[in-house]
Amino acid sequence: MRDGNSEQVIVRFFTPPMAACSPEKTWKHAVDTLSVRLRKRYGETIRAEFVELFTPESFNYSEIIDLIQNGENPPFITVNGKLVQKGGKLFERVIWIELERLGLKVANGE
């Protein structure tokens, strides 16, 4: 099992381009909120990254671009490169399942 001193686990969120009237209603805000919750639950082992689709950075992830070209809808979430969610809302539970499959334990005793 992993502990707080282990290597980081990268949770990457690939979202549609940001467009909102209010900063609280953006994908970035949702990812930031979820990232804080994940770190609170699992500790500093979690590194969350936000990638806005169709930016130069997003084209570094050919597997994600392939999903879009094959008609899949964002958002996409990967954990250490493994796709765990495509489409819909950001579901925290699917991330938990993968993190715990990797051996992470809940840091705060939940």
pLDDT at 21 > cutoff 70: no
Each residue of 39-69: pLDDT tens digit?
Answer: 999 999 999 999 999 999 999 999 999 999 9
pLDDT at site 1: 40
Domains and CATH numbers, the chain: 9-101 (3.40.30.30)
pLDDT at site 53: 96
Mean pLDDT over 64-91 rounds to 96
Each residue of 8-17: pLDDT tens digit?
Answer: 999 999 999 8
pTM for this entry: 0.87
pLDDT at site 10: 97
Burial label, 18 (beta-carbon count in 10 A; 0-12, 13-18, 19+):
middle
